[in-house]
Structure 1
């Protein structure tokens, strides 16, 4: 099978000052402000696909849409679908067909294992395409498949396991991190990243932008800043 060019991978996350993406309460902790939510909506509109992990899908039950009608219209005018392709990743295939993700927006795609696909093909019939990647979900194979599908720009919105796997496998081209002036401090709360063997080089910092009380940091993880630092 012909291999396409892998998509540009952009990780998007909002974190507290102490590195959490949520607190331990049942309600979702909103870390971003209104202006930053609007920025994220633009990033979604600029993407060909948006990816989320099963754990975040179950915990947050997001719709994962481009909210702005003007941005959706601009996508259509450019010859694109109204919404980016929505992608879920689930190794076990334990996904509820009643989640809002499946019932809003455009096309949906699930990457899973061979065993997970056995569960999901009937469960998500008519709701999403199910793509089996073998005995495990390997992100390189996932990106190769997206390249063959013509996806040029992939936005990854979490959660912890997915961000950890992309960064530890050195598969992220860009990281956009919105830092909120909040301290969570709950041991049971989810963090941005988990333990893993990450590349040891210093990431290249492209930009720091103030968005109200949010600090937006843009890094290029696959480009090193070591040379500039040593000077």
Structure 2
């Protein structure tokens, strides 16, 4: 387990067949109002939110906290109304005209040297974080280790599947909240909670089921990652 990093929780809604979007990668708006409130509650417990560029481009915005009771709790804990929202992208290819850049939040960019070039000297992001491997990919271990001393103790990950896969591969996820929604999307090209190459079954990350809640037609699954034995 990687030490000295934020406690990291993935929160995703998926179809009954395990898809987080349709084959066109349209914004996934199939979660109920209960699921949206659940997501907001998880975000309110976090010091920062991490989301991939694909997820941001699909929606154009990020989820913010609006429930007065959640805002009140954050204020009582001495936190800002909204957590920091960190967008991760290898290329830095984001549209500065999307509504995300008008939302009343603190925005950080996690990218590579190449990805940072087009955003240097601009005002859209409050911080630009560059952590990359020798092959020019984002280094998630170095990035999360950097966040912890900044007071980011809890990190909420909102997708997409490629980001979750990279974090799982580096053993950087502690918990998952998966909402199973009552529809079937199908499609070989429809994204799942964990994309990428996948894991061989004997090496796959193992989960411990902490909680199951059924509300109306949705099932809320709460898992903890079992840590590998050294």
Q: SS in structure 1 opposite 2:86?
A: strand
Give unmatched runs, 5+ long, in structure 2: none
Q: Contact 1:170/1:222 (CA < 8 Å) preserved in 2?
A: no
Aligned residues: 221
Distance in 1 between residues matched to 2:226 and 2:84, nearest whole Å: 25
Corresponding residue for residue 197 of structure 1: 199
Change (3 A) 1:114 1:79: same
Unaligned residue ranges in structure 1 (runs of 5+): 225-231
Normalising by the residue count of structure 2, what TM-score does the alignment of the two structures yield?
0.88
RMSD: 2.1
2:127 to 119, 123, 129: 129
User: Does structure 1 retain, via aligned residues, the 8 Å contact 2:116–2:130?
Assistant: yes
CA distance in 2, matches of 1:222, 1:145: 24
Instruction: Tell me which residue corresponds to 1:176.
Output: 177
Report whether the alignment pairs 1:23 with 2:16: no
- Give 1:125 deviation, angstroms: 2.1
1:105-120 equivalence runs, <5 A: 105-120=104-119
Q: Deviation per CA, 1:50-90, whole angstroms, max 9, x where unpaired? A: 11001111122123211213311321222101100101001
Summarize the alignment of residues 1-231 of structure 1 with structure 2, pairs less than 5 Å apart: 5-25=4-24, 27-122=26-121, 124-134=122-132, 135-194=136-195, 195-197=197-199, 199-200=203-204, 202-223=206-227
Q: Displacement, 1:176?
A: 0.6
Change (3 A) 1:127 1:138: closer
Which deviates more from structure 2 when the two are superposed, residues 187-196 or residues 16-25? 187-196
Q: What TM-score comes out, normalization by structure 1 length?
A: 0.88
Aligned to 1:63, the other structure's residue is in SS state coil
Alignment deviations for residues 180-224 of structure 1 (CA, whole Å, 9 cap, x no partner)? 111101233222222233643531111111122111111111347
CA deviation after TM superposition for structure 1 residue 174, in Å: 0.2
